[in-house]
Chains A and B, each alone.
Chain A
């Protein structure tokens, strides 16, 4: 008995939970798509592209694709961090304000006579400190991260308005840096894809990623196994903030001006919505960075397509709201089915 071969062996009778006999084609297809949320959201994106291309031949033009990239990039970068936080069971709603603050830090450091590179590094450092603050307040004082980051979002907004005196400024220029950081029309999407790949690799192929899943999936069990869940959470808060700061800097270079009113809750909600539509569970433990990227992609296609067709922005919001609700219902059902599959 002890020597039974583990895999590919006929299961002894005591093992196998009775498998429901033969599922229908559609239910099986449905299951595949529920398991592989990335696949289903990609299909949605492709269907949307076909639809918009048929309705308006302008959709797949180079000009519009570049516009689409603009829609996607910054949000996707923020979503990549947000996914990690959501997987470990937390959320950061202050990202939109880090997005606005970071380019001002860069600007001020540059104004003080340092190179733009130093400015960028300083801005990212400040962003990481914001993340650390979010993490410390959440973890040490046991405050729900929604509330913590609600506080820091106002705090940061106030700081940004104060140091900018409420006025937009021009993004400094230093040759090659501007090209790399967003002036080149393809640079931002390359950044977004690179960030997605790196963070997905961290999630799938490193200890940090597994500990992030473990922290969100079973906090007590993970800490029982010796995982330092506080460190995991703080680290992911920092990662999320740094990525939000990076997104803000890239946008500042692309737009060539820095506005204290940039970002805010709009970009934060777009990132969280993209993550959720891409299959991330707000309850933690489940989600992928690629899924979040595709979620942001689908939302951006929708947004851009509607603009092209002249559909009202109000309609877009109706559809976005409905899409989030459907995605959340699917997430919950998915969890229930998985748990039912256990018995």
Chain B
């Protein structure tokens, strides 16, 4: 609450100005100006094809915008590659893409940053196991054992581990592309709880793409609605409601259908 009353003190970790992205004749992003405040969870909603994924891909360094500016931590940057974006602390967690099923949980957490008994080339499994366990515990990720192969865990548990790993690798800005898609109620609760814990720790800022407005209202601080390549709605969740969000989308849908019916 104090955040809202202090206008300047809380810096933006990400700010975009008039982002444009076209694919041939198709305009994916028309004019996107948005911002992410440090420590907040921003829900990004919108219909399929509204440009959510394009925006995420640009912020993650996977795609370059056709125009507009991006600032990270107050400095204007060109997110020219995924690894450069990552070096700035921006990390995207994709569902099911991130983890290696055949490796144990702790080997996944330490993938490509394995600890060794240097100067020997051998893995220090004991230390990795302990640190992975401590880290997951700290974040409130609950799994039976870090020794388990990831294949044996549920979708929600794997998603939690993927998010926890991103945080462990010093990600400061997490982009979650539909972290709750295709998940049962219990599984979704796991993820929501984890995001809640992250918020409480206040180290990371999160942009979360979601379809379920109830979940967005439950976990996010602020909602942005993306329609036809531009942000048409930006409110703290406290100032909006499920009805309002539904109404906005329904209105778009009605306009869309009348347009097409007039054409035909």
- B107 close to A220 (CB less than 8 A): no
A222 at the interface (CB under 8 A from B): yes
The smallest beta-carbon distance between B213 and chain A, in angstroms, is 23
Task: Establish whether residues B103 and A214, one from each chain, have CB atoms under 8 Å apart when the complex forms.
Answer: yes
Interface centre among A1, A4, A205 (most CB of B within 10 A): A205
Interface segment among B9-17, B42-50, B149-157: the answer is: B149-157
A341–B186 Cα distance when bound, in Å, is 17
Number of interface residues of A (CB under 8 A): 39
Report B200 CB to chain A, min CB distance, Å.
8
In the assembled complex, A62 has its CB within 8 A of some CB on chain B: no
Near B by CB (< 8 A), chain A positions 205-233 give 205-208, 210-211, 213-214, 216-218, 220-222, 224-227
Given contacts A7-B133, A213-B102, contact A227 B112 (CB under 8 A): yes
Please tell me if B27 contacts chain A, counting CB pairs below 8 Å: no
Pick the residue among B98, B125, B133, B153 that contacts A6 (CB under 8 A).
B133
- Cross-interface CB contact of A7 among B103, B145, B155, cutoff 8 Å: B145
Interface size class of B (residues with CB under 8 A): 35 or more
A15 touches B99 (CB 8 A): no
Fill in one digit per residue for B81-97: 1 if any A CB lies within 8 Å of its CB, else 0: 00100000000001001
Assembled-state Cα–Cα distance A253/B5 (Å): 84
B103 touching A342 by the CB < 8 A rule?
no
What separation, in Å, do the CA atoms of A201 and B146 have in the docked complex? Answer: 21
Given contacts A6-B136, A211-B112, A217-B103, contact A206 B143 (CB under 8 A): no
- Flag if B122 contacts A227 (CB, 8 Å): no
Select from chain A the residue with minimum beta-carbon distance to B92. A224
Q: Is A81 an interface residue (CB 8 A)?
A: no
> What is the distance, in angstroms, from B159's C-beta to the closest C-beta of chain A?
12
> Do B122 and A205 touch across chains, with their CB atoms under 8 A apart?
yes
Residue of A nearest to B110 (CB): A210
Contacts of B146 in A (CB 8 A): 6-7
With both chains docked as a complex, state the minimum distance between the C-beta of B102 and any C-beta of chain A, in angstroms.
4
Residues of B within 8 A of A11 (CB): 142, 144
Interface residues of A in 307-343 (CB under 8 A from B): 338-339, 341-343
Question: A3 contacts which chain B residues (CB < 8 A)?
Answer: 137, 140
Contact B152 A341 (CB under 8 A): yes
| A interface list, Cβ under 8 A from B | 1-7, 11-12, 14-17, 201, 205-208, 210-211, 213-214, 216-218, 220-222, 224-227, 285-286, 338-339, 341-343
